[in-house]
């Protein structure tokens, strides 16, 4: 699918506003198209855009490369950049999507095989008055800014959820199986939040590389001062988000260690209970074993009070270790 964004037209159209429409088979791409968004493009759609702008669209396999020279390069006056953008961060299966940005003098082309929410957010903003200037660099700058804002928003949400999770772990007053179930759920939640934070850091690292490449590779006459300032600010924002992600990652690691420690304490308490019970019942078992032997000469067997004496001896042998453990505060 191809989404075409171009400057708004008509008497009531506001300045710095983009109109969007879906390209249909057989149509030509408008000459004033400012942003061409390719979503899971077919080979025919790729060829159409390549012919219109005289560029080479990278394949999905090329977009998934990790070598900087393969995903950040300049060719015939066109900048090819690929970054990893957050997707489905509000679900239990967060992931990263590879998105290619191709910046030409006429238009910005984006190639993606997923639906990052940041793209929908920028489209909604660009449709409002003052949402986006009529320059390819402005569209790219707006997209990058929205991607960064979305990452910051996700980190803020994750931070609040981590605080709630921390309280649920350390203020857990449940007992037995319910307490165990709480710890099990906490471990799963910690894992999911760790995945999201890791995705944010990886996404911001790729965006930072893209911004640094863009700043260093674009000739100075093509770099308006306003965009240079915007890119410098974006780099600082990205670095700030990366630092916050590192802080949250450390906090998640602390919660993981604390939860595992509490689970170990629970297990140790269970093992200790079994050990104490074994020690308490060992002396009575010894007494019962002695009087359970089949010897003919056992004077106590003929006593009138032999049975009550044996029972009392077993009870005493069980109570004394219990009282000793209580005195030592082992129970």
Chain segment 262-299, per-residue pLDDT in tens: 778 777 777 877 777 787 788 888 888 877 777 777 77
The pTM for the full model equals 0.76
* β-strand pairing of 95-103 with 35-39: unpaired
Chain segment 131-149, per-residue pLDDT in tens: 787 888 888 888 888 999 8
Question: Residue 305: its pLDDT value, please?
Answer: 78
CB hemisphere CA count around 256 (13 angstroms): 13
Distance from C-alpha of 191 to C-alpha of 169, rounded to nearest angstrom = 14
Evaluate if residue 34 carries a pLDDT over 50: yes
Evaluate if residue 331 carries a pLDDT over 70: no
Chain segment 155-179, per-residue pLDDT in tens: 898 888 888 888 887 776 666 667 7
Domain ranges of the chain: 2-266, 267-327
Distance from C-alpha of 203 to C-alpha of 205, rounded to nearest angstrom = 5
Evaluate if residue 4 carries a pLDDT over 50: yes
Chain segment 291-305, per-residue pLDDT in tens: 777 777 777 777 777
Chain segment 210-249, per-residue pLDDT in tens: 888 887 766 554 445 556 667 778 888 888 988 999 998 8
Spelled out in words, what is the top-level CATH class assigned to the domain 2-266? alpha beta
- Per CATH, domain 267-327 is 1.20.58.340: yes
Q: What percent of the chain has pLDDT over 90?
A: 2
Residue 24 burial (10 A CB sphere; 0-12, 13-18, 19+): exposed
Chain segment 70-82, per-residue pLDDT in tens: 888 888 888 888 9
């Amino acid at each position: 699918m191809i989404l075409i964004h171009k400057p708004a037209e008509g008497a009531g159209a506001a300045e710095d506003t983009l109109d969007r429409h879906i390209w249909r088979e057989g149509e030509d791409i408008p000459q004033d198209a400012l942003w061409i968004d390719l979503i899971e493009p077919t080979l025919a759609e790729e060829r159409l855009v390549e012919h219109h702008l005289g560029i080479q669209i990278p394949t999905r396999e090329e977009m998934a490369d990790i070598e900087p020279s393969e995903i950040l390069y300049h060719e015939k006056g066109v900048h090819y950049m690929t970054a990893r953008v957050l997707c489905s961060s509000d679900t239990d299966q967060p992931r990263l999507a590879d998105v290619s940005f191709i910046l030409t003098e006429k238009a910005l082309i984006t190639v993606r095989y997923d639906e990052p929410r940041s793209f929908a957010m920028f489209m909604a903003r660009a449709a409002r008055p003052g949402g986006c200037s009529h320059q390819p660099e402005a569209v790219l700058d707006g997209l990058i800014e929205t991607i960064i804002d979305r990452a910051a928003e996700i980190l803020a949400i994750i931070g609040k959820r981590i605080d709630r999770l921390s309280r649920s772990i350390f203020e857990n007053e449940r007992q037995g199986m319910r307490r165990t179930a709480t710890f099990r759920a906490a471990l799963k939640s910690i894992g999911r939040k760790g995945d999201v934070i890791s995705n944010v850091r990886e996404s911001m690292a790729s965006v930072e590389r893209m911004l640094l490449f863009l700043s260093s590779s674009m000739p100075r006459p093509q770099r308006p001062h306003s965009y240079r300032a915007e890119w410098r600010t974006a780099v600082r924002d990205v670095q700030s988000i990366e630092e916050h992600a590192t802080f949250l990652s450390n906090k998640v690691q602390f919660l993981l260690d604390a939860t595992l420690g509490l689970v170990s304490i629970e297990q140790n308490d269970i093992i200790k209970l079994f050990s104490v019970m074994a020690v308490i019942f060992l002396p009575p078992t010894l007494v019962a074993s002695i009087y359970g032997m089949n010897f003919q000469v056992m004077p106590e067997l003929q006593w009138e009070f032999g049975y009550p004496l044996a029972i009392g001896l077993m009870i005493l042998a069980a109570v004394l270790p219990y009282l000793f453990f209580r005195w030592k505060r082992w129970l």
